[in-house]
Amino acid sequence: MRLLLAGLLLVAGSSLAQAKVRIVATTTDLMDIARNVGGDRVEVSVLSRGMDNPHVVEPRPSQVMKLTHADLLLRIGMDLDMWVDGLIDAARNGKIARGSRGYVDCSTGIRRLEIPTGRLDPSMGDIHVYGNPHYWLDPENGKIIARNVLNALQRTDPTNAEHYAANYRRYASEIDERTRAWEQLLGRFRGAKVVTYHKSFIYFLKRFGLTEFGNVEPKPGIPPSPSHVSELIRDMKASGVKAIIMEPFYEKKYPDLIARSTGAKVVIVPPSVNSIKGMDTYLEVIDAVVRRVAEALGS
Ligand SMILES: [Zn+2]
């Protein structure tokens, strides 16, 4: 009997040691960063596709299934992935409920930009109400996300704390090294003005010393209007703006019109992992944005 018990404990112990931490991420960028920090001790799945506009993701039953079995939930937070709140409720998994140990808001520790001041009113648009949530496009913030993932993994799986810490250190120093190269590449365009379709590149532009001149959308989430676009064309011509940066999931009609009227180039960049074919990692995404913007400004 004692032998049998010991045997059972041994089996239980070894299966515990092998059990991977199940992570569910709201976006593909969080998925990739989590894989880098978790390594072979985690299993990561994602609730949206890279080509989705992350503000608007359709809820599906398969997403609830993933959350039901999750040990950790990673979200962008602020008001970007509010669509996950209903899914969390539907999953009824105490491990990842808001405020529990497995609920990870990756915006923790981020220095938020564009926090609205004064009273909010509908004319300002109905998104970005807690500040601009597109912070992952600054690689320094990629490191903060990785640090949040590290903290969560160490809490959930303390046995492997050192493994996660080593992965984090390696990944963070790779980000540092790549960032130096990116800064060098964009350094000669310091102060250059660009137009972006949505207000999604503000953290990226700030990191690399570029200036947001205007947006094709009049307010975040409000579609462009002919009057706004014609004002933008007039101002861009007067200032010699050379690039209109946009995500692949927005309509090109107005950006193309603006490009024809001003001589600026439309630059389609991948805002997320898997948003464009071949962009499989977070570092590839940032690299592609840097290169495409540099190419447009240098031509
Ligand atoms: Zn946005």
Per-residue model confidence as pLDDT tens digits over 175-206: 999 999 999 999 999 999 999 999 999 999 99
How confident is the model over 50-70, as a mean pLDDT?
Answer: 96
Residues 6+ apart with CB under 8 A from 226: none
pLDDT value at residue 127: 86
Instruction: Classify each residue of 41-60 as buried b or exposed e, where b means 16 or more C-beta atoms within 10 Å of its C-beta.
Output: bbbbbbbbebbbbbbebeee
Residue 132 CA, ligand 1 centroid: distance in Å: 7
pLDDT exceeds cutoff 90 at 8: no
pLDDT value at residue 106: 98
Residue 219 CA, ligand 1 centroid: distance in Å: 10
> Using CA atoms, how far apart are residues 291 and 185, in angstroms rounded to an integer?
8
Residue 8 CA, ligand 1 centroid: distance in Å: 52
pLDDT exceeds cutoff 90 at 4: no
Residue 77 CA, ligand 1 centroid: distance in Å: 12
Q: How many residues does the chain have?
A: 299
Q: Is 292 exposed, middle or buried (0-12, 13-18, 19+ CB in 10 A)?
A: middle
Q: How far is CA 265 from CA 84, 196, 251, 260, 271, in A?
A: 35, 11, 15, 9, 18
> Using CA atoms, how far apart are residues 138 and 282, in angstroms rounded to an integer?
11
Residue 195 CA, ligand 1 centroid: distance in Å: 15
Given pLDDT bands bounded at 50, 70 and 90, which one contains residue 249?
A: very high
Residues 6+ apart with CB under 8 A from 127: 55, 79, 220, 221
What's this model's pTM, rounded to 2 decimal places? 0.93
